[in-house]
Amino acid sequence: MALTVYGIARSRAIRVLWLLKELGAQYTHVEMGFGPEGSGSAEFRRINPNGQVPVIDDDGVVLSESLAINLYLAKKFGGPLAPADLGEDGRMTMWALWSVLEIEAQAAPIMYNTSFYPPEQRNPAVVEAAIARLQAPLAVLEAHLSAHGHLVGGRFTVADLNLIGCLFYLRFTPQVLAERPATLAYYQAGLARPGARAAFALRGE
């Protein structure tokens, strides 16, 4: 069974690479970058018409969207990161959708406007508004983690990895998590895992 991952580590592909390090899975990594010579090329769009990375090809099963890929891979390989039953599976899917809609949707514009965009293109008002919108979901997360320690099953799972991958977009604004001690400790512990360190080393930062 051949598993290929398309995407560079300095993209959402880092989430997939992290999971594969955690799983100890064998895979081929095609470092597909952005732009017309990379994910925007006609050749790559035959794999993913959206022209985005990451994408996996698991012996003919082609998937995009990093969190969906991770849910699939966790269930494929099994183990403690995977759902133990249908209930856990449902909750992991719920948290994946929540991570994108409630966290990443706000954290991404914060990241772009504090680091990625050229200084003259950054909009502090966008950052301020996004941070304000994050307060309610972060309060929900803080309460859940204070009570349970992890998202599902009282252990580190793919649900946690997916969420931490979204929280990573807040790294340039550490004040956002500074007053959320359970969330901050959870985030730091996740990134300190050997699998995370091995994957993030691929970013060359």
Q: Are strands 3-6 and 61-64 parallel, antiparallel or unpaired?
A: unpaired
- CA dihedral (130, 134, 136, 139) positive or negative: negative
Q: For residue 178, what are its two tokens?
A: 């500074």
> DSSP labels for 64-129?
ESHHHHHHHHHHHH-STTS-SSHHHHHHHHHHHHHIIIIIIHHHHHHHIIIIIS-GGG--HHHHHH
Per-residue pLDDT band at 120 (split at 50, 70, 90): very high
What are the phi and psi torsion angles at 62 (to 5°)?
Answer: -105, 125
Looking at every residue in the chain, the average pLDDT score rounds to 96
pTM for the model stands at 0.95
Beta bridge partners of 3: 58
Tell me which DSSP letter residue 7 carries: S
On the question of pLDDT at 201 being above 90, the answer is yes
- For residue 151, give the 3-state DSSP assignment: coil
On the question of pLDDT at 205 being above 80, the answer is no
Share of the chain above pLDDT 70, in %: 100
Tell me the CATH architecture of domain 86-193.
Up-down Bundle (1.20)
Per-residue pLDDT band at 37 (split at 50, 70, 90): confident
The CATH 3.40.30.10 domain(s) of the chain lie at 3-80+198-203
pLDDT of residue 1: 60
Q: What is the mean pLDDT of residues 68-96?
A: 98
Amino acid (one-letter) located at 125: A
The CATH 1.20.1050.10 domain(s) of the chain lie at 86-193
Give the 3-state DSSP-derived string for 142-187, with helices as H, strands as E and coil as C: HHHHHHHCCCCCCCCCHHHHHHHHHHHHHCCCCHHHHCCHHHHHHH
Residue pLDDT, tens place only, 171-197: 999 999 999 999 999 999 999 999 999
CB 144 within 8 A of CB 163: no
Integer-rounded Cα radius of gyration of the chain:
17
- For residue 63, give the 3-state DSSP assignment: strand
The verdict on domain 3-80+198-203 having CATH code 3.90.420.10 is no
